[in-house]
């Protein structure tokens, strides 16, 4: 979620800063920003769809192979399970023998256990490629808005649009940086400033390159 919004915020602002530095009019900057936002959103959607589908296919293949191993080499899989449950704290030998006997009698339950312990796969956490792609697309577009919206009202003053886009993007980056800490449990101020510094350096570089190219052309 954070990645999609952050990508939209940073990449669209860098595009806007670059073409603004090149001396484009507000209208041209707006068209460029909208095209960039749409292209980025489609790219994010397609990339996330393919990545999620590929990941699901790889996991499905590994799980099918694991099921074959359980069907054809049950003792080896039980020995592997014995090691895994030992790693998570089950050390009592009597209890381990009982667990092993239970799973020997219930191969399907063993497969479900190995899915979780060996592959970290839970049925409730399986991601839909379509949903993941659409979500990435929408999040990227949401992140693009601070760089696009100001140019609807900047008329013939692209510098005003750029300043407004920078201000809105800075505010959004600070918010996203703070929100990220809910998951990472890190310092909110540090995360927000890190987000801002990286985007600020990129924006300054993009504007400088755009200005240089505008002078050379």
Q: Are residues 183 and 204 in the same domain?
A: yes
Q: Looking at residue 1, what is its pLDDT? A: 61
Mean residue pLDDT of the chain comes to: 85
Q: Are residues 72 and 169 in the same domain?
A: no
- Which region among 17-21, 85-89, 97-101, 204-208 has the lowest average model confidence (pLDDT)? 85-89
Q: Are residues 32 and 65 in the same domain?
A: no
Q: Which of 109, 125, 141 is where one domain is finished?
A: 125
Q: Which of 70, 101, 125 is where one domain is finished?
A: 125
**Which carries the bigger pLDDT value, residue 15 or residue 75?**
15
The whole-model pTM stands at 0.79
Q: Are residues 212 and 139 in the same domain?
A: yes
Question: Domain of 76?
Answer: 56-125
**pLDDT confidence bin for 113, thresholds 50/70/90:** confident
Q: Are residues 42 and 62 in the same domain?
A: no
Q: Are residues 82 and 107 in the same domain?
A: yes
Q: Are residues 119 and 133 in the same domain?
A: no
Q: Are residues 35 and 62 in the same domain?
A: no
**pLDDT confidence bin for 142, thresholds 50/70/90:** very high
Q: Are residues 117 and 16 in the same domain?
A: no
Q: Are residues 7 and 73 in the same domain?
A: no
pLDDT tens across 144-180, in order?
999 999 999 887 888 999 999 999 998 898 888 777 7
Q: Are residues 149 and 75 in the same domain?
A: no
Q: Looking at residue 149, what is its pLDDT? A: 94
75, with CB counted inside 10 A (0-12, 13-18, 19+), is exposed
Q: Are residues 199 and 134 in the same domain?
A: yes
Q: Looking at residue 147, what is its pLDDT? A: 93
Instruction: Tell me the backbone φ, ψ of residue 90, rounded to 5 degrees.
Output: -85, 100
**pLDDT confidence bin for 32, thresholds 50/70/90:** very high
What is the number of structural domains in the chain? 2
What mean pLDDT comes out for the span 60-73?
87
Whether pLDDT at 88 is above 80:
no
Q: Which of 125, 153, 179 is where one domain is finished?
A: 125
């Amino acid at each position: 979620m954070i990645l999609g919004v952050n990508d939209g915020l940073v990449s669209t602002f860098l595009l806007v800063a670059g073409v603004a530095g090149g001396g484009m009019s507000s209208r041209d900057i707006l068209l460029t920003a909208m095209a960039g936002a749409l292209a980025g959103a489609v790219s994010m959607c397609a990339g996330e769809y393919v990545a999620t589908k590929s990941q699901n296919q790889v996991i499905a293949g590994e799980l099918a192979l694991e099921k074959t191993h359980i069907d054809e080499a049950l003792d080896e899989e039980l020995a592997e399970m014995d090691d895994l449950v030992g790693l998570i704290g089950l050390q009592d030998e009597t209890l381990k023998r009982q667990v092993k006997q239970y799973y020997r009698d219930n191969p399907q339950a063993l497969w479900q256990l190995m899915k979780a312990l060996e592959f970290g796969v839970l049925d409730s956490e399986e991601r839909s490629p379509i949903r993941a792609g659409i979500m990435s697309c929408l999040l990227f577009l949401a992140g693009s808005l601070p760089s696009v919206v100001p140019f609807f009202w900047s008329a013939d003053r692209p510098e005003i649009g750029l300043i407004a886009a920078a201000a809105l993007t800075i505010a959004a980056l600070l918010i996203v940086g703070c929100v990220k800490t809910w998951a990472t449990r890190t310092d909110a101020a540090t995360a927000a400033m890190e987000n801002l510094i990286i985007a600020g350096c990129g924006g300054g570089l993009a504007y400088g390159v755009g200005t240089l190219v505008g002078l050379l052309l």
